[in-house]
Amino acid sequence: MIILTVRTFSLLSLEYATEGIRSMITAQIDVSGLAKRIGDVEAVRDATFVAAPGRVTGFLGPNGAGKSTTLRMLLGLARPDAGTALIGGRPYTELPDPTGTVGAVLDLAGAHPAMTARGHLRSYCALGGHAVGRAEQVAELTGMTDYLDRRVGGFSTGMRQRLSLATALLGDPGVLVLDEPSNGLDPAGIVWLRTFLREFAADGGTVLISSHVLTELQYGIDDLVLIDRGRTTWTGPLSEFTEHGTSLEAAFLELTSDGASPLPTGTEGIRA
Ligand SMILES: Nc1ncnc2c1ncn2[C@@H]1O[C@H](COP(=O)(O)OP(=O)(O)OP(=O)(O)O)[C@@H](O)[C@H]1O
């Protein structure tokens, strides 16, 4: 996809880029020293990383590592005990146009089963103050046009994932935050999602995508953030993680042990 950027200017710390007929507000994600205790559990102890515009950043860690809790803090759904999680230099709750800045998929679309996809999207257009025609536009972007008049109750998990993504895109955000979006997608759906996210980033968007499945991220991301037991243990370009012959899987296992192992030889990413 060719980017025709005709103008950019700074809006707070957000970059507003106009490109062809489409415009988006792009912004960097900055997480620093983030911590959150839930009951007796230190769900997040020290998460520090950046997700940059124009890049797809994978947020990888084993089950229970703290990925969802970190993303919930980033999206203003949980209050950090310490540290900051900023989008374009601001907490989510202080963004002037939250849905026009960030699209998030944390859970499968919680639409009423009797509602059609079109009805679901149109009600979110009304809630978010978006033009009603956005429903059909995001359906086209996510390959949902043929399903618009079907009831959500009959959707497969993969179609629900697409509907969630379509809903997140209604405000034409420049930042996408996706928590395990490949769950329930078949191989063709995974390839489609990977291609969609790469094009979104190629247009200048910021993508942060979490997963505990290595193979989901291996071919679709530019940068990698590893989290283990609530701490980011490695951040950097994926190419640095694997270029010296260490497989992603081997490096992942090494860096999600007890943290005592050395970095893969030649790896220049940052180890926390
Ligand atoms: N509501 C909660 N009540 C109690 N403990 C919680 C709660 N939410 C998260 N935790 C705990 O916090 C830790 C981090 O959980 P989190 O869901 O953030 O991990 P995750 O990396 O997203 O895991 P997964 O890959 O399995 O989704 C885990 O030990 C989890 O059990």
Give the pLDDT confidence of 54-65 residue by residue, as tens digits: 999 999 998 899
Given a contact cutoff of 8 angstroms between Cβ atoms, the answer to whether 267 and 236 are in contact is: yes
Given a contact cutoff of 8 angstroms between Cβ atoms, the answer to whether 209 and 219 are in contact is: no
What global pTM score does this model have? 0.84
Give the Å distance between the CA of 230 and the centre of ligand 1: 10
Quote the CA–CA distance of 267 and 252 in Å, as a whole number: 13
Please name the residue that has the structure tokens 């790469």.
198
Average pLDDT over residues 120-143: 91
- What is residue 63's predicted lDDT score, i.e. its pLDDT? 87
Q: Which residues, 6+ apart, have CB-to-CB distance to 150 below 8 Å?
A: 116, 117
Say if residue 259's pLDDT is above 50: no
Q: Percentage of the chain with pLDDT > 90?
A: 53
Please name the residue that has the structure tokens 């079907």.
150
Pocket perturbation via mutation, ligand 1, pick of 40, 67, 216 by most ligand atoms within 8 A of CB: 67
Query: Beta-strand (E) ranges in the chain?
Result: 5-11, 14-19, 22-26, 29-38, 41-51, 56-60, 82-87, 102-105, 175-179, 206-211, 223-228, 231-237
Segment (H or E) for 200? helix 187-202
Residue range 186-232, pLDDT digits in tens: 888 888 889 999 999 999 999 999 988 777 787 889 999 999 999 99
Name the residue with the closest Cα to ligand 1, atom 25: 63
Say if residue 254's pLDDT is above 90: no
Give the Å distance between the CA of 220 and the centre of ligand 1: 25
| Structural domains in the chain plus CATH codes | 5-255 (3.40.50.300)
Say if residue 8's pLDDT is above 90: no
Pocket of ligand 1 (CB under 6 A): 38-39, 41, 43, 61, 63-69, 212
Residue range 72-112, pLDDT digits in tens: 999 999 999 999 999 999 999 999 989 889 999 887 656 78
Average pLDDT over residues 134-149: 93
Name the residue with the closest Cα to ligand 1, atom 28: 64
